[in-house]
Structure 1
Amino acid sequence: MLPAVLLAAGVLLCLYLFHWKFSVLVSTLFCYYVWKDLNCARPPKLSYQPNSPLCQKVIEACKILQEKYTPPLLWGRFGHVQTLVYGMRGRFGNLRSVESDRHSVVAVDGTTVYYDVFHPNQDTREHIMIVCPGIGSHSGARYIQSLVQHATSHGYRVAVLNHVGALGHTLTGSRIFSYGGIGDLTLMYEKLKEQYPQCKFIGVGISLGANILLRFLAEKPERQNDFVCALSICQGYDPVRALCSTQNGWNGFYNIGVTSGMLDIISRHRHQVLPLDTTSLTNQKDHSSPMKVIKLLSKLKLLLSGSSQVPSDQPSSNDRSFHELITSRDSNGFPLDSSSCEPVDVEGFSKAQMIQEVDEYYTRRVMGFRSVHELYTWSACAPLLDKITSLPLLLVNSRDDPLVKECLLSIANDYTKHNPNAIFLSTEHGGHLGFFEADMFIPRTTSWMDRLIVEYSTTILQC
């Protein structure tokens, strides 16, 4: 669209210079067209079984499912922009502090898992919203705080899992979180059941957290009895297919951002998670800002040219099946027999700039996978979705999400054909976790995503 806008602007400039009266009319019509086109809000697209009584009742009662989503003027229609604004700002406005308690529970491997419980002003509901955030995130992230503020103001108690390694606490074990690991979420869930035995849960998974939440619900279907509903926001369902689209081109920019976050977490806890002398790793890392910029520009040049070389995430002849992978590991993905683990490739890891490189030189080795493809295959929730049958489930994606390509949305769409309690909602705009709302340019503090989560949950409770 941008080249067309620039071309039209050039034409209008020529008209203005040589035929100013005519150009006034053309400019007015052009501005009206741009204004109308950029602000043509549309309701989300819904996929569900039309003969499902639950879905019909929910869609009729939950008004936000039928309302038009209105992104900010001009920039809100571009998924890349919404995603970048989310990445840099999180949410707009001032977020008030919410009363909370931090809890911890120790896993069998010695790892301490932390989670925060945020309390409503008035305890009016017997339901707890369990939130599993995005990759390497925690309860202090602004997009989580925005959701917490909105949910607690509507009477919900909110429990947020802090991914292991994301907080500043020193690790008590020798691992961080994993892409498909459900052990940490399971510990929080079991502890909450002890603390609030009368309460039912609402599951909210965001990005990678949605993948973890759905794996958690599918692994033991009886857990679904403790939940009234679940929501999956902006996940890719299948890491193998999702990461293929972030290796080259502009989408590689986001890969670099995710990689930087993972490297920060691993480097911060290197004495606990790297089973080796990290002196060489520390010395090889150049933390000077000029060198970082040079390396980033160099990597972007390779990405845009399509010549970036990353470790292959394609299957090999030695890869095991999904069933073999899930039966030989603990709930966080680590092998029951640690002899399958390999030494970390320190030299490769120290130079990693793409997430596939981090996973090849570090993650798959400490987790005992034979290849990156095996790691991603094990991590996916897509093969387990059919085990979530009785629970009302809302799957949410944006069709202009640069991290989750539209081809991946067929997984969610196909799932609704087999589950009469599932709804797949896709918006035309929103980017990755953006979903900013505004009448003009500046977004509101409460995002469309926040409103959707609370309104859908409330509707389910009333149905």
Structure 2
Amino acid sequence: MDPTLSLSNQINLTKSLLIVICCFLIYHLILIITQRWTKIKITFPDKPSRLANGETVKGVITRCCESLENGFRASWWLPNGHAQTIYSATADFSKDDQITYHRQLLRVPDGGTIGLDIYPSLSTILPSDAPVILINHGLTGGSHESYVRNMVVWLTKPVSEGGFGGRAGVVNFRGCASTPLTSPHLYSTGSTIDLHTSVLYLSTLFPSASMFGVGFSLGAAVMTRYLGEQGDRCKLKAGVVLCCPLDMRVVTYGLDSPHPLTRLYSLSMSHKILRSIVPHLIPSSPLSHPTSHLHIHLPEIMSLTRSVRRRATLKASKMLELVACTVGGGSDLFPFETLDGFLSWSCPGNWIGAIKRPTLAISALDDPIVSSACLPYKAIRQSTHFVLATISQGGHLGWFEGPLFGKDKHERWHIKPTIEFLKGIQDISDSTTYKTDSDTLEIRRVGDWTWVGDVGWLVLDEIDEEGWTAPKEDGILT
């Protein structure tokens, strides 16, 4: 073999590889520059209802949400949705937004336990009309998640420091964030009882406070459904839903795509569900009882924990079929015969038209988990109070806009429009008569139980969160 010819081939191959790399870098540089300056698109209702001061939700956003007008400029070192999503799930946020919650455990009539983490604690005195914000975490998450802590810190900061000056209550769904699992069913996008109970409980503690809701990912889906279910009776004055999977079928079946990164997200989501449920499958657990709908699937679920090969090929749709379809709520509809039936029933987008409180949804078009295909623009335009802001970048629960180094490295953009929007609605509440029949609660005490209508709770022993070891943050989908 001619060594000169071999060397020539190597040089040509190297040149070709360099050309490909340069083209790839130039393409992505152009993509980064053009996307970083793309304006935010806002979809408003075609026939919006008037709020208490005569404005529409469009008027509030135009008047108050300067950040939506200015747009989002992604960190140059996190140029696309995959980078933002993976960084959000894997970076070290342990030194950020360190807070100590006051945990309140609530037992509900179906036997379930809700872990409500409150900040600042109930012993901290705030003005009687300081707003109260209910926060829903993402799939298998909790109050310990970095994106939740970041939101809590800003919502509870004084207004003079750019915050909302409120008190936050993070609803840890049953079985999440070290909340005891004491019921024969879990939670899902179709179950709102944990949120509803938490809203009413905090309403009894702070009757003069305006209440608001913020939800992330799966928690955003629960928040959207709750706002729709409650309609005009809703205790929440407004809601913000971030990265909300408004069409569950599109999101779930989209995760079955063979694309390598999509496969990674699906696998991560599956493992999060598996890891969250297995510790609760001890013999004394209500999920393991022969009367539990999950009992028939226990052999298959336990086999997954023992088979590396099966876990490596697991899909999100399979875990939803095994778990969410059977014990994803306490309704008589469970267990669902098919995954499609469950996804249709639990789809939060079905409730958009029933929402009667100003609601701002923020989604990234490059979100690799909650894709743009699941955004129901027609339903939004036909609604009266629901507004959607779509941003070209941000990924799933990312929206990082800080520098590569420094104290602002983990700055998240979505905090700004959230606080601006809630402040705008709070101003209306303060300056007008913004009361409804639901603002007066008829509270009944039966022994140690408290009842508001047909919703009841028993306050268990308080647990001070000092020293509480939060679950490790891991996985992609949160």
Q: TM-score range by the shorter chain?
A: 0.7 to 0.9
**Offset at residue 341 of structure 1 (A):** 7.5
Q: Deviations over 1:162-190 (max 9, x none)?
A: 12111224423333322321111111111
Aligned twin of 2:347: 380
**Offset at residue 256 of structure 1 (A):** 0.9
Matched, 1:397 2:366: no
Aligned twin of 1:462: 427
Aligned twin of 1:47: 43
For these two proteins, the number of residue pairs brought into alignment is 379
CA contact (8 A) 1:147 1:446 kept: no
CA contact (8 A) 2:111 2:183 kept: yes
- TM-score, normalization: structure 2? 0.71
Distance in 2 between the 1:134 and 1:201 partners? 20
Q: Residue 402 of structure 2: SS of its match in structure 1?
A: coil
Q: Residue 77 of structure 1: SS of its match in structure 2?
A: coil
Q: How does 1:182-221 map to 2 (within 5 A)?
A: 182-221=192-231
**Offset at residue 193 of structure 1 (A):** 1.2
CA contact (8 A) 2:402 2:411 kept: no
CA contact (8 A) 2:140 2:272 kept: yes
Aligned twin of 1:368: 335
Aligned twin of 1:58: 61
Aligned twin of 1:179: 189
Aligned twin of 1:244: 253
Name whichever of 88-97 and 171-180 sits farther off: 88-97
Distance in 2 between the 1:408 and 1:109 partners? 33
Aligned twin of 2:270: 259
User: Greater helix share, 1 or 2?
Assistant: 1
- The equivalent position to 1:142 in structure 2, one of 139, 146, 155, is 146
Aligned twin of 1:307: none
Q: Deviations over 1:303-332 (max 9, x none)?
A: xxxxxxxxxxxxxxxxxxxxxxxxxxxxxx
Aligned twin of 1:344: 297
| Aligned alpha-carbon RMSD (Å) | 3.2
Which structure 2 segments of 5+ residues have no match? 1-13, 49-54, 158-162, 305-310, 328-333, 429-478
Which structure 1 segments of 5+ residues have no match? 1-5, 15-25, 278-337
- The equivalent position to 1:166 in structure 2, one of 176, 192, 198, is 176
Would you identify which runs of 4 or more consecutive aligned residues in structure 1 move more than 6 Å?
6-9, 29-33, 338-342
Distance in 2 between the 1:57 and 1:452 partners? 12
Name whichever of 33-42 and 418-427 sits farther off: 33-42
Distance in 1 between the 2:19 and 2:182 partners? 65
Q: Among all aligned residue pairs of Structure 1 and Structure 2, give the percentage whose two residues are the same amino acid.
A: 21
Amino acid at match of 2:43: S
Q: How does 1:254-333 map to 2 (within 5 A)?
A: 254-271=265-282, 272-275=285-288
Distance in 1 between the 2:264 and 2:365 partners? 19
Distance in 1 between the 2:404 and 2:31 partners? 11
**Offset at residue 263 of structure 1 (A):** 0.7
Q: Deviations over 1:66-106 (max 9, x none)?
A: 01211111x322101100001112758632325x3211211
Aligned twin of 1:406: 372
CA contact (8 A) 2:215 2:222 kept: yes
Q: Deviations over 1:281-316 (max 9, x none)?
A: xxxxxxxxxxxxxxxxxxxxxxxxxxxxxxxxxxxx
Aligned twin of 1:78: 80
Distance in 2 between the 1:461 and 1:187 partners? 23
Change (3 A) 1:186 1:41: same
